[in-house]
């Protein structure tokens, strides 16, 4: 396992043991870092290469992938800029480590930047598992996501993400051609064993 600052994002890289599995791009939630989702990645995609960058934005000292104006209100100008930066990092990491296009596994803020990547830079990802995502953009471009697999796992009792907001994102991605599976779990905003099981089964089917 490697932790490095040599590319444009501080990140950790875990080489894959199973070349048939796509690499995972692990995107942490607010206050996390490049170490946060390594264990989850190993659980849900054993043998996959793991790329786990740290978000570049700090909110009260806590790393995030983009700025927000308040809870649930995103700075969309910053979001678009950070999504472009992250797409650039993905290209760098693929070249540095000899990888194919990754599947994103993002939680909360990480799920939101992954959704933005799908809409703004669809070529960067082979698919995405979005855990507790929100609709990232008020006006999304007409991305071509034809057949791109997307798993969305929402919490029925999530105090942060309104159910209608998550539903809007699912419909938005479907309208652009993505193969979306949206499950609402008996959970809040935090992850549960059901998230692990659902994500593992979905990733195994790719």
Beta strands 68-70 and 73-74 are antiparallel
Task: Examine the pLDDT at 140 and tell me if it is beyond 90.
Answer: no
Q: For 180-200, how does the pLDDT look when each residue is reduced to its tens digit (9 = 90+)? A: 999 999 999 999 999 999 999
Alpha-carbon distance of 22 to 14, in angstroms, equals 13
Give me the catalytic one of 28, 158, 182, 195.
158
Confidence of residue 73 (pLDDT cuts 50, 70, 90): confident
User: Catalytic site residue 108?
Assistant: yes
Confidence of residue 72 (pLDDT cuts 50, 70, 90): confident
> Are 45 and 127 in contact, with CB atoms under 8 Å apart?
no
Report the number of distinct structural domains present in the chain: 1
Please report which helix (H) or strand (E) contains residue 128, including its range.
strand 127-131
Task: Examine the pLDDT at 117 and tell me if it is beyond 90.
Answer: yes
Q: For 148-184, how does the pLDDT look when each residue is reduced to its tens digit (9 = 90+)? A: 999 999 999 999 999 999 999 999 999 999 999 999 9
CATH number for 6: 3.40.50.1820
User: Catalytic site residue 158?
Assistant: yes
Q: For 43-68, how does the pLDDT look when each residue is reduced to its tens digit (9 = 90+)? A: 999 999 999 999 999 999 999 999 99
Angle between helix 109-120 and helix 163-175 axes, rounded to 10 deg: 20
User: Catalytic site residue 189?
Assistant: yes
Confidence of residue 71 (pLDDT cuts 50, 70, 90): confident
Containing structural domain, residue 99: 2-204
Predicted pLDDT at 4? 65
Give me the catalytic one of 52, 108, 121, 182.
108
Alpha-carbon distance of 180 to 178, in angstroms, equals 6
Predicted pLDDT at 3? 61
Q: Span 13-23, mean pLDDT?
A: 94
Confidence of residue 2 (pLDDT cuts 50, 70, 90): low
- Alpha helices for 75-134 (secondary structure H): 76-97, 109-120
């Amino acid at each position: 396992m490697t932790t490095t600052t040599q590319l444009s994002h501080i990140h950790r890289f875990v080489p894959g043991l199973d070349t048939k599995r796509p690499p995972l791009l692990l995107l942490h939630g607010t206050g996390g870092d490049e170490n946060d989702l390594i264990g989850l990645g190993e659980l849900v995609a054993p043998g996959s290469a793991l790329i786990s960058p740290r978000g570049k934005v700090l909110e009260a000292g806590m790393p995030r992938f983009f700025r927000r104006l308040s809870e649930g209100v995103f700075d969309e100008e910053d979001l678009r800029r950070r999504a472009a930066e992250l797409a650039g990092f993905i290209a760098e990491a693929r070249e540095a480590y000899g990888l194919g296009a990754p599947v994103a596994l993002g939680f909360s803020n990480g799920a939101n930047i992954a959704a933005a990547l799908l809409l703004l830079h669809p070529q960067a990802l082979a698919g995405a598992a979005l855990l507790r995502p929100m609709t990232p953009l008020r006006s999304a471009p007409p991305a071509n996501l034809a057949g791109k697999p997307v798993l969305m796992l929402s919490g029925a009792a999530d105090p942060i993400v309104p159910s209608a907001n998550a539903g809007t994102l699912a419909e938005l991605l479907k309208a652009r051609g993505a193969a979306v599976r949206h499950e609402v779990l008996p959970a809040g905003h935090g992850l549960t064993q059901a998230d692990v099981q659902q994500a593992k089964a979905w990733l195994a089917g790719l």
